[in-house]
Amino acid sequence: MATFKVGFIGTGKKPVHAGPQGYGMAHQHAVAYKALPDCEIVACADIVEENAKAFAEAFGVPRLYTHHKAMLEKEELDIVSVCTWPHLHAPLVIDAAVAGVRAIHCEKPMADTWGACRLMAQECERRGVRLTFNHQRRFGAPFRKAKALLDTGAIGELVRIEFGAGNLYDYGSHNFDLANYFNNEITASWAICQIDYRDENLVFGAHNENQAFALWQYRNGVFGVASTGMGAGLIGAHHRLVGTEGMIDIGAVNAPVLRVRRFGERDWEVIDCGNEGLHGPGYIERAIADVVKALREGGESELCARHALNATEIIFACWESVRRRARVELPLMIQDNPLNDLVARGELTPKPRG
């Protein structure tokens, strides 16, 4: 008999072609839970009954609901996966925490405002609920091996972390999380940023800039640099780690997924990552296995809310820098979403899609 009863809030519809309106993340979470012998998916909830029925049929889920509160009231759940759009994350997570769920694994980004991010983490912490977020790339071979190279001094002392990405918030939440992972979860001291937002770019209902250039510094002196959108090519890599004695590239354009070069050497050393790239395979399975292991053994998952807050704070600090037209000192003392505010007040006027 399974040790942990699992429920889902937001099954979605498994897309024919994954994209900005859906990746079927609940379906990917379900595959990961099904692979664990001490987990059993017992219920799911989605406001679209057709989606819940399809999910239940695909994964042998015995009970389905069209309202998450009904599921939380009737089921004795140990773990809940929240796989909805970001603006719903905080209220759904808090509902699950109040209902007595022991662990909640939520999709990223955390939430659509900085205040909501902090509130959901606070309410889970004060109730003893383990809250985690699906920054699954931490468990990929290219990123793990890059961290091992750093830790063994392959490029000397870390000086700077750079990344190129589509945006700071949706895709960028992975990049910031990994940047913090490489820097041992040291929190940032300040951030400064400028963006361009002329064409509406809604990803899962949330505004994302078209282009950004951001600079921040961690408390240990390491710098971070991000260039997004049209400027992502400036970095030309998913991440670049620059040290006193060399550099590591992860996901460089037209290059092997992981390579290292010491200063004074002409050629890159390619690091074998098997069949693993930037996105998998197997990363979500490993992430959820880590979440369940932490619940089982009483430790802290790498995907904990504390780590997610570290990354998300820098994202909102970058947008707050745009709003203030100044460097922003941390910790971040705002509640809202600065990008949403700038659009609402007409200071940014992105052209609507279509």
**Tell me, what CATH number does 218's domain have?**
3.30.360.10
What's the sign of the alpha-carbon dihedral 194, 200, 202, 205? positive
CATH of the domain at 97: 3.40.50.720
Phi, psi angles (nearest 5°) of residue 270: -85, 130
Give which of 298, 278, 277, 335 is closest to 119, Cα–Cα.
335
Neighbours of 87 (CB within 10 A): 16
How far is residue 10 from each of residues 53, 65, 269, 278, 342, measured CA to CA in Å?
12, 10, 44, 26, 30
Residue 15 and residue 101 in one domain: yes
User: pLDDT averaged over consecutive 10-residue blocks of the chain (354 residues)?
Assistant: 90 72 85 98 98 97 98 98 98 98 98 98 98 98 98 98 98 98 98 98 96 98 98 97 98 97 96 97 98 97 98 98 98 98 98 87
Please identify, among 82, 114, 136, the residue that sits at the C-terminal boundary of a domain: 136
Judging by DSSP bridges, how do beta strands 206-207 and 202-203 pair with one another? antiparallel
Q: How far apart are CA 123 and CA 105, in angstroms?
A: 14
Q: What is the pLDDT of residues 187-217, one digit of tens each?
A: 999 999 999 999 999 999 999 999 999 999 9
Looking at the structure of the chain, the number of domains it has is 2
pTM over 0.75: yes
Q: CA 81 to CA 132: how far, in whole Å?
A: 10
Distance, in Å, from the CA atom of 97 to the CA atom of 138, rounded to the nearest integer, reads: 25
Clarify whether residues 203 and 331 are in a common domain: yes
Angle ∠(222,225,229) on CA atoms, nearest 5 = 165
